[in-house]
Amino acid sequence: MTVTPSRAEGEGTTARTGKEDGEAEVQLPGARAASAEDTPIGVAPPTRGFLARATLVTAVLSIAGALLGLGRDQALAHLFGAGTETDAFLVAWTVPEVAATLLIEDGMAFVLVPAFSLAVARRARGAGGTGGTRRTGGTGGDPVRALVAATLPRLSLVLMAVSALLMAGAPYLVAGLAPGLPDPGLAVDCTRLTATCVLSFGLAGYCSAALRAHRRFLAPAAIYVAYNTGIITAMFVLGGRWGVRSAAVGVALGGCLMVAAQIPALARQLLGGRRPATTTEVTPAQPEEAPGTQGPAVKQSVKQPVKQSVKQSVTHSVDLALITPVLLFALCRQSQVLIERYLASNLPSGAISHLNYAQKVAQIPMTLSLMLCTVTFPVLAQALAEGDTERARNRVERDVAVASCMVLLGAAAVFACAPQIIQLLFQRGAFTDQDTAATATVMRVYSVGLLGHTLVGALVRTYFSAGRPTWYPLAAMTAGIVATSWIGAGTVGTWGVRGIAAANAIGITVTAALLLSGMDERRSVPIRTRRVVHELSRPLRAAVCAAVTGALCASRFDSPQLALLAGGVTVTVIYVLLLRLLGVRFGGAPATTRTTLPIAFRTALRSVTRRLPHDRSR
pLDDT digits (tens, 9 = 90+) for 328-345: 888 888 888 888 888 888
| Separation CA 429–CA 78 (nearest Å) | 5
Does residue 154 carry a pLDDT above 50?
yes
Which of 5-9, 76-80, 96-100 has the lowest average pLDDT? 5-9
- Asked if the model's pLDDT at residue 79 lies above 90, the reply is no
Can you tell me the mean pLDDT for 175-186?
Answer: 82
Average pLDDT of the segment spanning 485-513: 92
d(CA 292, CA 349): 71
Residue 4 has pLDDT above 70, yes or no: no
- Domain residue extents for the chain: 49-124+143-270, 347-609
Mean pLDDT confidence for 524-530: 82
Does the pLDDT at position 223 exceed 60? Answer: yes
Confidence of residue 50 (pLDDT cuts 50, 70, 90): low
| Residue-level pLDDT at 391 | 82
pLDDT tens-digit series, residues 264-304? 988 888 876 444 433 333 333 334 343 344 443 433 333 44
Task: Please give the residue that has the higher pLDDT: either 389 or 165.
Answer: 165
Calculate what percentage of the chain has a pLDDT beyond 90: 29
CB 532 within 8 A of CB 540: no
3-class secondary structure, 252: helix
The answer, yes or no, to whether residue 105 has pLDDT greater than 70, is: yes
Q: What average pLDDT score do residues 551-578 get? A: 94
Per-residue pLDDT, averaged over 551-576, amounts to 94
State the number of CA atoms in the 13 A half-sphere of 280 facing the CB: 24
Q: Which of 65-69, 437-441, 532-536 has the lowest mean pLDDT?
A: 65-69
Higher confidence at residue 320 or residue 96? 96
Instruction: Report which of 315, 313, 306, 286 is spatially closest to residue 298, judged by C-alpha positions.
Output: 286
Helices 245-260 and 223-242 meet at what angle, rounded to 10?
150
CB 121 within 8 A of CB 31: no
- Is the pLDDT reported for residue 246 higher than 80? yes
- Taking the whole predicted model, whether its pTM rises above 0.85 is answered as no
Provide the pLDDT for residue 151.
Answer: 86
The residue-averaged pLDDT of 394-411 equals 90
Q: What confidence category does residue 413 fall into, taking pLDDT thresholds of 50, 70 and 90?
A: very high
Q: What is the pLDDT of residue 201?
A: 92
Instruction: Enumerate long-range contacts of 132-139, CB under 8 Å, 24 or more apart.
Output: 132/38, 133/37, 133/38, 133/39, 133/274, 133/275, 133/276, 133/277, 134/274, 134/277, 135/274, 135/275, 136/274, 136/275, 136/276, 136/277, 139/310
pLDDT of residue 442 exceeding 60, the answer is yes
**Pick the residue with more confidence: 534 or 382?**
534
- 29-38, 136-145, 442-451: least confidently modelled range: 29-38
Can you tell me the mean pLDDT for 243-254? 91
Taking the C-alpha atoms of residue 135 and residue 275, their distance in angstroms, rounded to an integer, is 6
> Rounded CA gap, 328 and 326, in Å?
6
Range of weakest confidence among 35-39, 237-241, 563-567:
35-39
How many helices and strands in the chain, by DSSP H and E?
Answer: 24, 2
Contact 252, 198 (CB under 8 A): no
What does R_g of the chain's alpha carbons equal in angstroms?
A: 25
Residue with the larger pLDDT of the pair 316 and 381 = 381
Greatest mean pLDDT range, 146-155, 313-322, 441-450: 441-450
**At residue 32, does pLDDT exceed 60?**
no
Amino acid at 361: V
Across residues 221-238, what is the average pLDDT? 90
